[in-house]
Amino acid sequence: MFDRFREASRFDASDDATRRTFVRARLEAMLRHCRAESPFYARHAALIDELLAEPDDARFFERYAALPPLTKQHLVDDFDDLMTDREITRARVDAFDAEHADGLGLLETASGGAHQAIKTSGTSGTVVYIVDSVRCIKEVMSLLLFRALLRVLYQTGMWPAFLPFVRPFYRLLRRLRHGRPAGQGPAPLPPSWGERIARFVRPSLLVFVHRGNRSVYRGTTSHSQPLWVRLLMHIRVLSHEESLETILRRTQWQQPEFIFGLPSRIEWLARAQLRGALCIDPLAVYVGGETLHAELLDLYKRAWPRTVVINTYGATETKAIATACAECGELHVLEDIVHLELYGAEGGPVPPGDIAAQVYCTGLWNRVTPVLRYDMSDRIEVLPDAGCRWRTQRIRVRGREPAFLWAPHQKTGEWVPLNGRMLKESLVALPDAIGFMVRYTQPGSISLQFVLESDDSTGEVEARLRAGALTALDKLVRDQGSAVSDLFPAVQVEVFDMQGWNQAGGKLGAIAASVVPPHLANQDDSAPTASEAAS
């Protein structure tokens, strides 16, 4: 373990040429493996052979950029051919997922051992699976947590929290020095006695699961924790499927030193803290999966003034991509975990301060579902060198589609967050449409628009789409314990043919929502600056 950490430290501090040589070696090994074991990549055998024969580093990366990119649709249509373990098929993974809806199972194969089957719909709404070995996930988790956890706590002076049996005394000294957080919080909801004892002497990591990617967080935290993490930390997973009251009571008992979740989910905890419904004092809060807006960062700082907020960036398909640096507060690419390609509109390099028009990411570790040059739609800004000891490329994620639609309850007036990814997943699955668009611009009124795949002279397809849309909406609001009429008394379902849609206009597969609660009314698309994040 320590050898791996020393190697990671040397890599992060090395110059561009040294890191480039390392990345090329990892890419070459992955390319040879893909060519030999994956029928999908074997289709590009000639290109791969030419690439592997290239002696010049600069030309190698130019030729690599000429490989056809992998898309999400490839992960759906060519899943079986992509797999390098021939025992793993889409039919088998579908059956496995149906049997392990909680994400806690392991997929075993004779040749590859234990695997995690990770299900995600991301921001596109299209369900895909990524299968990887538990051993590989543990390796990547170690590299990520070394940088995001151990290094950050060392640089911020909070490392004593990890010393054996020191946790209770560290918490006491922190309270004596800074005072107790304001508020009483709810009545704690304690777990079993065994967990209470284990929790008392070790720092705690609270993973706040969102429903769309529950198998990612539940599965990885349960099966794929590196040994050193299991020894040093007590890890607790809280599910969105529990009531907010239960979540707050469990969190109150846990008193976590570390929290990880979507920015919009951590917002729930922060607002509960500010109104006195929660009383915790975390050392660090980690967020990922959505853009960390400056307003949310300010909210976290008001809720927990002494807490370090660490932004992270990743994709289920490629694993962790970047995590924030303790020196500058901005994201640094994890170049020994992924190879990230950023290009301008004309295919050239992106100057600092500009947003990349094309983003491709290659995972350097997953040899079961190899992902080479994955085509991503995220808006990534290239940042200039800030002189950090961590020398990898600095970036800022300017936009990822948020996971929520906000709707005011017609009876109580309470603003209810609805899982936009769940809605997308349901609408994408409707078989008769080639696309949809959700328009939500007025509280209480929502429009779902569909484009037909074929001629519908009888009206049967339109009727099925209308029924499917209403079912998807009902499922969405029931997930929060409401009825459709409570949140959307006016629901409009429109069906277009292609000609009609071309006249109406709009991006297919999108959710256009401008309704937000008053406390988020001024939120824009900006990310926190380096000074804001570092503070």
Last residue of a domain, one of 268, 300, 315: 315
Q: How far apart are the first and last CA of the chain?
A: 31
* Residue 380 belongs to some domain of the structure: no
Average pLDDT over residues 177-183: 75
Give the span between the Cα atoms of 284 and 202, in whole angstroms. 15
Residues 304 and 424 in one domain: no
Q: Please check whether residues 291 and 145 belong to one and the same domain.
A: yes
Full domain range(s) for residue 495: 404-520
Q: What percent of the chain has pLDDT over 90?
A: 45
- Are 278 and 163 part of one and the same domain? yes
Same domain, 409 and 310: no
Bigger pLDDT: 489 vs 500: 489
CATH number of the domain that residue 240 is part of = 3.40.50
Sheet containing strand 379-382, strands side by side: 234-239, 204-209, 258-261, 284-287, 308-315, 319-324, 331-333, 394-399, 379-382
Q: Kindly report the average pLDDT of the chain as a whole number.
A: 85
| pLDDT tens digits for range 190-240 | 777 777 777 777 888 888 875 445 555 555 666 677 888 888 888 888 876
* For residue 532, pLDDT beyond 60: no
Q: 242: burial class by Cβ within 10 Å (0-12, 13-18, 19+)?
A: middle
Answer whether residue 114 is part of any domain: no
pLDDT at residue 400, rounded to an integer = 57
Whether residue 30 is contained in a domain is answered as no
Identify the weakest region by mean pLDDT among 118-122, 235-239, 343-347, 518-522: 518-522
Higher pLDDT, 517 or 491: 491
Burial 371-383 (b: 16+ CB within 10 A, else e): bbbbebebbbbbb
The tokens describing 42, both together, are 């074997």
Q: What is the pLDDT averaged over residues 478-486? A: 89
CB 186 within 8 A of CB 248: yes
Per DSSP bridges, beta strands 433-442 and 374-376 are unpaired
Given a contact cutoff of 8 angstroms between Cβ atoms, the answer to whether 376 and 362 are in contact is no
- Higher confidence at residue 50 or residue 293? 50
For the chain, the domain total comes to 2
**Per-residue pLDDT for 22 more than 80?**
yes
Has residue 507 got a pLDDT over 70? Answer: no
Select the more confidently predicted residue: 481 or 505.
481
- Nearest by Cα to 259 from 245, 244, 280: 280
**Any domain includes 311:** yes
147 and 250 housed in the same domain: yes
Percent of residues, the chain, with pLDDT higher than 70: 87
In a domain, 128, yes or no: no
**Which residue stretches of 348-459 are H helix?**
420-428
d(Cα 139, Cα 158) in Å, to the nearest integer? 24
Buried b (16+ CB within 10 A) or exposed e, 248-263: bbbbbbbbbbbbbbbb
With bands split at pLDDT 50, 70 and 90, how would you rate the model's confidence at 443? very high
Whether the pTM exceeds 0.85: the reply is no
Tell me, yes or no, whether 304 and 428 share the same domain.
no
pLDDT for the residue 535: 29
Q: Which helix (H) or strand (E) holds 234?
A: strand 234-239
Q: Which residues contact 267 (CB under 8 A, 6 or more apart)?
A: 296, 299
Tell me which of 290, 315, 340 is where a domain ends.
Answer: 315
Q: What is the pLDDT of residue 499?
A: 58
Does residue 355 surpass a pLDDT of 80? yes
Within 10 angstroms of residue 76's Cβ, the number of other Cβ atoms is: 13
Same domain, 296 and 444: no
Q: Is residue 453 part of a domain?
A: yes
Question: Could you tell me the CATH number of the domain that includes residue 428?
Answer: 3.30.70
Whole-number pLDDT of residue 383? 97
pLDDT at residue 100, as a whole number? 82
Q: What are the φ/ψ torsions at residue 468 (nearest 5 degrees)? A: -65, -40
Please tell me the number of Cα atoms within 13 Å of 189 on its side-chain side: 13
Mean per-residue pLDDT, 457-463: 80
Angle between helices 263-274 and 294-303 (to 10 degrees): 40
User: Which pLDDT score, from 0 to 100, does residue 293 have?
Assistant: 75
Residue 228 lies in a domain: yes
- Residue 353 lies inside a defined structural domain of this protein: no
Residue ending a domain, choose from 315, 346, 380: 315
Task: Let me know whether 422 and 283 are in one domain.
Answer: no
Q: How far apart (Å, rounded) are the C-alpha atoms in residues 64 and 372?
A: 10
